[in-house]
Chain A
Amino acid sequence: MEYKDFDDLTNHLPGLAKKMRDFKDILLANLIMIGENPAPTFHEEQRIQFIVDRFTEAGLSESSVDDAGNGIGVLEGSEGENSILINAHADTVFSDKIDHTLQVLKNTVIGPGVADNSLGLAVLVSIPLILDELDIKLKNNLILLGGTKSLGRGNLEGIRFFLENNHFSNISAGLCVEGVELGRLSYSSIGMLRGEITCTVPESYDWSRFGDASAILTLNEVINKINDTRLPSRPRTSIIMGSISGGTSFNTIARDATLGFEVRSESEEVVNDVGNTIKSIVMEVTSKTGDHINLDIFAGRSPGGIPYAHPLNECVRKIMKSLNIKPRLAPSTSELAAFIDKKIPALTLGITTGDHINKKNESIKIDPAFTGLAQLISTIIAIDGGFCG
């Protein structure tokens, strides 16, 4: 199947969305077989092996696992001058101790990681079969990448390794696929610092010294001071206190307490300033209490991206309009940042609607996924056809 121009493609979109229903079984079977393999960050091997086996079965050249553990398959284009990189992160926030059994109801699939990002990965491995069945031949190489070590402390290690070390001559565009939310259109990354503050009461605590004899109280003081930090309203900046843990029981003084936080800003300078302020706060509270406080900043992003008016961006907004998808424009701190660092025009797209993200009862809706698939396939066709600049 070939499209003359972008209008020809958009005219065919409603039909394409209907056709996507033919791939319901293959998409859901991939989702189940991927989703039931646990893949906590740094331990994605089982999933990666599955997707590489799928790529090999589909006859993709260079189906392999690279040194960072990423699973890669390449659908060679008829001309092959440029390459389009489609990425879905393979890791989830769930430990392998958690039951990963998925439940499939009439229009819902439920289970840990099903939306973030088992569905994204299932879509990735379904692409070769879908293109083949629709008889769509691409001019450019299509690189399919199941990226490892993306979340949390992974800090996008997989995709960064690939972008740094691959031998493909010209990656002209990138698409990051996320299970949810249909309509998501991220084209820029905000500046970010991610870290943990861990307070520990020393083993030989001198109970007569000034200070709070509890790691939780010490951490509370740190939190209060961070909260008092004045943040600029322009450029927009925020500090997210995302997780907290500490102590063991009701009646034992907490020896450890940990805060997980993220600083986000449109300005890299402000991110660094806030990071320095947090360092000062940690030093100040340490000197006051005598507790041991460790600040560990393990991930960061630089702000950037393509402009709103970039042809790739415009192109996808038109595709969304033709498919009646309402775009939800939001900056991202996901794999998009790795593309931005390499100055590759890229977007993040969502496939369907979902609920309870990152909880054990995480769920996705099946029906909207066909529209999401049509959006992704038509975006690939549009980029390949040179309709996106």
Chain B
Amino acid sequence: MADLQQWIDNNTYHHSQFWDLEKLVREKEKQNIRISLCLPTLNEEKTVGKELIIFNSELVNRYPLIDEIAVIDSGSDDNTLEVAKSFGADTYLADDILPNIEKKKGKGENLWKAIYQLTGDIIVYVDADISNIHPRFVYGLVAPLIYRNDIKYVKAFYDRPLAVSGGARSSGGGRVTEILIRPLFSLFFPELTAIIQPLSGEYAVRREVLEQIAFPIGYGVETSHLIDVHHKFGLEAFAQTDLDKRVHENQPTQALGKMSFGILQTFIKRSKALGIIDKAEHEKILRQFQAQEDHYQQLKMEIVEFERPPMITIPEYREKFGREQ
């Protein structure tokens, strides 16, 4: 297994490291890379306009980092597409892309069809429900791909502890991450525990990677990406960027149950295909992370779920209660 602490130290960034957008654009132009931004939407009229204004103004007009912005919609009931069009985005209905293929509904479907519809060498996916949108949501993810050829997939994570009263603070993902994904990864894919927020909806990926991986159309898409990219290219292909705070509407617990169910299906399918779930032995160390000042530390905790046999098998018990074996 890779040295996770070393990976964290080398491949974890903070968006402020990439503040010099002029330099970033120069480097991008030198490499002649084309970058596409995809906003997958479903009923996001309240937030999509703001995202488009910020990205167009700051990362298309002011600093030409993005070459193309597209909204790919799952069939919103509200005015998402109308609002997006009025703020200058290319808008598509997912159903209209690759029309000869059987239609499916789901965020993963939009992300997958973006690979066909968009032309960039790098595609950045940003959820359209972020209310504190800022250009960092794009440049923070794209920059590691521009500056480092060995990186193929950059994942966002959030909520850096800027004001902690000394000591450390747990660096968590959401509830599903900490309760489901991290324990599962600790058991079967311990290297992937180094990804601090495996379910974050914002990531930038090279086309040559995207075209080689499958896309579950629903909740499992982020989990399957991590497992597949890790399997094909190893942990070294990943980087992650701290984008500070992300403000969005919280999901009710019931919705998290649905999400977990979808993710588990994807996880089991992947694990079976890779022959991992059938292994008699699995890891017994739970890997979590905490933020210590300005870097992230791995916390390893051995949790062995030892099982006691039925009491009837214990001779002292049988003797005391006069039980026959």
A106 to B133, CA, bound (A): 17
B53 touches A104 (CB 8 A): yes
Q: A156 CB to closest chain B CB, in angstroms?
A: 32
Does A316 interact with chain B (Cβ within 8 Å)?
A: no
Nearest chain A residue, comparing its CB with the CB of B79: A106
A28 touches B83 (CB 8 A): no
B71-108 interface code vs A (CB 8 A; 1 in, 0 out): 00000000100110011100000000000000000000
A105 to B47, CA, bound (A): 8
B83 touches A105 (CB 8 A): yes
B86 touches A104 (CB 8 A): no
Does A102 interact with chain B (Cβ within 8 Å)?
A: yes
B46 touches A103 (CB 8 A): yes
A32 touches B46 (CB 8 A): no
Does A36 interact with chain B (Cβ within 8 Å)?
A: yes
A101 touches B53 (CB 8 A): no
B132 touches A36 (CB 8 A): yes
B88 touches A25 (CB 8 A): yes
Other-chain contact of B82, A24, A25, A103, A106 (Cβ < 8 Å): A106
Categorize the interface residue count of chain A: 10 to 19
Other-chain contact of A29, B46, B53, B247 (Cβ < 8 Å): B53
The answer to whether residues A32 and B53 also contact, given A26-B61, A101-B132 and a CB cut-off of 8 A, is: yes
A367 to B82, CA, bound (A): 16
Chain B contact residues: helix, strand, loop or mixed: helix
A104 to B49, CA, bound (A): 6
A29 touches B49 (CB 8 A): no
A32 to B87, CA, bound (A): 14
Nearest chain B residue, comparing its CB with the CB of A57: B62
A102 to B133, CA, bound (A): 10
Residues of the A chain whose Cβ atoms lie less than 8 Å from the Cβ of B247? 101
Q: A308 CB to closest chain B CB, in angstroms?
A: 40
Contacting B at CB under 8 A, from A1-45, are: 24-26, 28-30, 32-33, 36
A33 to B53, CA, bound (A): 11
A82-102 interface code vs B (CB 8 A; 1 in, 0 out): 000000000000000000011
Residues of the B chain whose Cβ atoms lie less than 8 Å from the Cβ of A33? 54, 134
B49 touches A25 (CB 8 A): no
A32 touches B61 (CB 8 A): no
Other-chain contact of A28, B47, B53, B62, B82 (Cβ < 8 Å): B53
A104 to B83, CA, bound (A): 9
Nearest chain A residue, comparing its CB with the CB of B56: A25
Residues of the A chain whose Cβ atoms lie less than 8 Å from the Cβ of B56? 25, 29
Supply 7 A–B pairs (Cβ within 8 Å), ascending by A.
A29-B57, A29-B58, A30-B57, A33-B134, A102-B50, A104-B87, A105-B45
Which positions in A face B, CB cutoff 8 Å?
Answer: 24-26, 28-30, 32-33, 36, 101-106
List the 10 closest A-B pairs by CB distance, nearest first.
A29-B57, A104-B49, A25-B57, A104-B50, A28-B53, A25-B56, A101-B131, A106-B86, A26-B57, A29-B53
Which positions in B face A, CB cutoff 8 Å?
Answer: 45-47, 49-50, 53-54, 56-58, 61-62, 79, 82-83, 86-88, 131-134, 247
Given A25-B87, A26-B62, 7 more A-B residue pairs with CB atoms under 8 Å apart are A29-B53, A29-B57, A36-B132, A105-B45, A105-B83, A106-B49, A106-B82
